[in-house]
Structure 1
């Protein structure tokens, strides 16, 4: 595993360097970046009082140069730049804090594996002012500096470019340029430096289908992908191992396999979606669709909505690596072991289609309780969420004619005796005829609606001999 990790680091460094150089990020024609608060002057002299001070980490437009400028990133000879400022056109003096590369105010964690020197300014000719042992640090900013002679698109680019990070240390704010580093963007507040080259590869990543064989090789499946703060965020899940995360070595190996497949580097965060200890849904199976490899699970103990409350319900599709088992047992079962009326716990996918019932994927199902023989359906009292033995009055609405208010105890008793034994299973489709009859069942301040077409809370159910008998009794009340 250590060998894989070292190889991953090597590949990471190679692609980082190539990507840095491919966009020629070291050149900003006619612009300068200030790394410290810098005074500006009316003339090319420091003898006079400064006309003002420009805050650090700003880019300025150069109008002309004065003195003996050398064409290098950090010139040692003194010369001057005439730049545009909000004070007007002013002069500023060259120095290690005045550079020709773009500064990126990034926020991320960087892990480096060897001793690293600390520098006051990002330049190869600077003397280091301290050392840091291998560790993970949080960056404040980033620069990409390539030496002279680098030609865009050449293989030797990686030998000439370095990534500098501005960090906070025990000596204050300093710069480091690790030879081998791992960038971490997992924190939701992380922000990256999206250079032209990185933007190209990031867009290629979002639109590429070339990675499907790669995901298969790593035995993972993508869960979500989006961009946040210039960072490509990829969430994956392990196939068959729904509670195991990718470790650090596996994440870096996957990152670098992605970079190698696409041909370049870009800011990328990879996290793992795992199942929690607590189930997302507890309910009863009321329908099974073997052709679609899915089941309808309803939780009649959890309702939402005020005027027209509905129970929590999901059509759950079972992928090939779904784990089906009995509660507290490890023996793997299959979809053929699922039965209507079973009470199950379900661990579902991160996303659900916004419909009713909801539509999602079940990565794990635990069978908590089997239905007793002859009791595969759901009792009508549970579906209506009402005690059918304590009905005070009934308002009957027929297809035609005025509503009938039923308060005769004998008729009410005859109706609830028929209703209390009804058990229903979900139907595959909604009935053709909707306007048969409805009964509003009142129990103190509670009310439930029984529909003759057997559609309750937007869910259709199959007719039974008992529902047909109830229909015949209701017809006689006309």
Structure 2
């Protein structure tokens, strides 16, 4: 009997010690241990302006727009020959098909509203129906340019343009971009309408370039330009 009482007492002491230990851990443990026992609220899906929440997306419409995008992609050569344009970007979402175009051969030519409307009607004809379409035109070449700085290196028909006045993100490195001319790209000198050959570019020249709008986010960055202008006097 005494042995039974001793074993029973030991069992209660062990249980009491375990309870005291668990209380000490809960009160004195790390913040992560204390908060891990509290269930986190489920994330709230709050749609951005103009973007439907996942539950509101019409997946049939999404599939339809993706099918239209695929149809249009097979007509890029025809668009190029008919309107002297290049499709830079095309995509589809929940509400519309998006396309960005630019003028080719004469890169500085402005595409008129009438031309844009004719292109729009051709796209509807290619698709065999009208559809929500956001058609944007990327014009060249006004403003300060997409890439500015000095040419630091020239190799393999491309130039490395470095802007020592700007930092690359949060680093101490200057903004630097490798720039390649498009097939119809031009080189000019500020104040002159003359078109120059690529070999007129030289290290140390101050230049600005207008890109196709597509930049690879490496370091240095990489882009294609439709125009490089030498800004040195």
TM-score range, shorter chain: 0.5 to 0.7
Aligned partner of 1:213 in structure 2 is 77
- Matching of residue 254 in structure 1 with residue 150 in structure 2: no
CA distance 1:260–1:305, shift in 2 (3 Å): closer
Aligned partner of 2:155 in structure 1 is 289
CA distance 1:367–1:190, shift in 2 (3 Å): same
- Matching of residue 369 in structure 1 with residue 232 in structure 2: yes
- Matching of residue 358 in structure 1 with residue 227 in structure 2: no
Aligned partner of 1:279 in structure 2 is 145
Q: Distance in 2 between matches of 1:199 and 1:253?
A: 26
Aligned residue for 2:230, secondary structure, equals strand
**Which of 151, 163, 166 is matched with 1:302 structurally?**
166
Q: Distance in 1 between matches of 2:223 and 2:128?
A: 35
Higher-helix-fraction structure: 2
1:202-238 Cα deviation digits (max 9, x unpaired): 3233224421222212111112223345111111111
The higher radius of gyration belongs to 1
CA distance 1:238–1:328, shift in 2 (3 Å): same
Q: Distance in 1 between matches of 2:209 and 2:180?
A: 11
- TM-score normalised according to structure 2 size: 0.65
Kindly indicate whether structure 1 or structure 2 has the higher relative contact order, using CA contacts under 8 Å at least 6 residues apart: 2
User: Do the aligned residues in 1 keep the contact of 2:62 with 2:93 (CA within 8 Å)?
Assistant: no
- Matching of residue 232 in structure 1 with residue 93 in structure 2: no
Aligned partner of 2:23 in structure 1 is none
Q: Distance in 2 between matches of 1:256 and 1:195?
A: 26
User: Do the aligned residues in 2 keep the contact of 1:245 with 1:273 (CA within 8 Å)?
Assistant: no
Q: Distance in 2 between matches of 1:250 and 1:341?
A: 41
Residue 260 of structure 1 and its aligned partner are, at CA, apart by 2.2
Report the RMSD for the aligned CA atoms in angstroms. 2.9
1:279-325 Cα deviation digits (max 9, x unpaired): 222211121123xx31111112222455x500110000101221210
Q: Distance in 2 between matches of 1:281 and 1:197?
A: 39
Q: Distance in 2 between matches of 1:287 and 1:189?
A: 44
Q: Distance in 1 between matches of 2:60 and 2:129?
A: 12
Give 5+ residue unaligned stretches, structure 1.
1-187, 371-478
Aligned partner of 1:418 in structure 2 is none
Q: How many residues align?
A: 177
Aligned residue for 1:322, secondary structure, equals strand
User: Do the aligned residues in 1 keep the contact of 2:62 with 2:94 (CA within 8 Å)?
Assistant: no
CA distance 1:260–1:302, shift in 2 (3 Å): same
CA distance 1:255–1:224, shift in 2 (3 Å): same
Q: Distance in 1 between matches of 2:109 and 2:136?
A: 11
- Matching of residue 265 in structure 1 with residue 122 in structure 2: no
**Which of 161, 176, 187 is matched with 1:324 structurally?**
187
Give 5+ residue unaligned stretches, structure 2.
1-48, 53-57
